[in-house]
Amino acid sequence: MNSAMMRVKVQRYRPEQDDAPFMQEFEVPYADDMSIIDALHYIKDNLDGTLSYRWSCRMAICGSCGYMVNGVPKLGCKTFLRDYLNTGITVESLANFPIERDLVADIGDFVEKLEEIKPYIIRQDAVSVDDGEHLQTPAQLTRYRQYSLCINCGLCYAACPQYGLNNEFMGPAALTLLHRYNQDSRDQGRDERIDIVNAEEGVWGCTFVGYCSEVCPKGVDPASAIQQGKVESSTDFVMSKLRPRRPS
């Protein structure tokens, strides 16, 4: 190996001609500040223009460039070649999602789940714009702020074996977003979301593997949101026995 070059193995899958994905090896010039997407850009511009992969912002906020790097879910923009000098690099599409083409994962199911939990502020009382904004104290913001930092990159789904085993499970990011809205002092939509929380597909599909929180590039800690969801669901379970909730 040339000292200034580095080998990168990339997953390829071309649906119109391949029956299954395979690995292809490329040599890219090495630099200390070179990220995985820089390496993929080099391959696409200089070695093989047919390589497909998603990326956009290059600064860990768009959530587009999630890949498996040596079997670990990572953002391509904040993962650098320099950290893999001894191990080599293998880039694959995000685990637990169907492979659309090369490194492009089909995350449609994840996006549907995000919508399913009603990720917006729901009010039971109609408030006029003339009444002014809904005020919130810094202490009320602290209750959910961490959970609002999610960029929907899907790394937690690629990390979650329960989602891999059964994709009926709502999964880490969707349940965390659900918790984020339930914890928002401006929101009154808990009753519209509790059925999802209580279900097998909801928090009870989680066995607290905890890898979602480990791989999250934004420090959101989905495992804690789901764990708190289990406490809330348990409380709701007991309350429903004592005082049945009216059907909504």
Return residues touching other proteins (CB under 8 A): 13, 15-16, 20-21, 71-72, 95-96, 98-100, 106, 112, 115-118, 137-139, 141-143, 146, 159, 161, 164-166, 183, 192, 195-196, 198-202, 204, 207-211, 214, 221, 223-224, 227-228, 230-231, 233-234, 237-238, 240, 248
Residues 221, 213 contacting (CB under 8 angstroms)? yes
**What SS3 state is found at 168?**
coil
Nearer to other proteins, 132 or 138 (CB): 138
In whole angstroms, the minimum distance from the beta carbon of 234 to other proteins comes to: 4
Q: How far is the CB of 43 from other proteins (least distance, A)?
A: 21
* Ramachandran category for residue 159: left, alpha or beta (phi over 0 → left; psi -120 to 50 → alpha): alpha
- In the bound state with other proteins, the residue whose beta carbon lies nearer, of 55 and 144, is 144
**What value does the CA radius of gyration of the chain take, rounded to a whole number of Å?**
21
Euclidean distance between CA atoms 130 and 62, whole angstroms? 34
Tell me how far, at minimum, the Cβ of 116 lies from other proteins, in Å. 5
Residue bearing tokens 């890219």: 28
Half-sphere exposure of 75 (CA within 13 A, CB side): 20
| Residue 34 or 104 with smaller CB distance to other proteins | 104
Reading the block at residue 174, the tokens are 């969707």
Q: How far apart are CA 88 and CA 100, in angstroms?
A: 25
Closer CB to other proteins, 38 or 92, in the complex: 92
C-alpha–C-alpha distance, residues 205 and 147, integer Å: 19
Q: What number of other Cβ atoms are within 10 A of residue 11's Cβ?
A: 18
- Closest to other proteins by CB, 11 or 35: 11
- In whole angstroms, the minimum distance from the beta carbon of 70 to other proteins comes to 10
CB 78 within 8 A of CB 217: yes
Q: Find out whether 150 and 66 touch, Cβ atoms under 8 Å.
A: no
| Cα separation, 3 vs 91, whole angstroms | 21
Nearest distance, CB of residue 247 and other proteins, angstroms:
10
Closest separation in Å from C-beta 142 to other proteins:
5
By beta-carbon proximity to other proteins, the closer residue of 27 and 106 is: 106
Select 63 or 222, whichever has its Cβ closest to other proteins.
222
Which of 204, 207, 205 lies closest to 236 in space, CA to CA? Answer: 204
Smallest separation, CB 198 to other proteins (Å) = 5
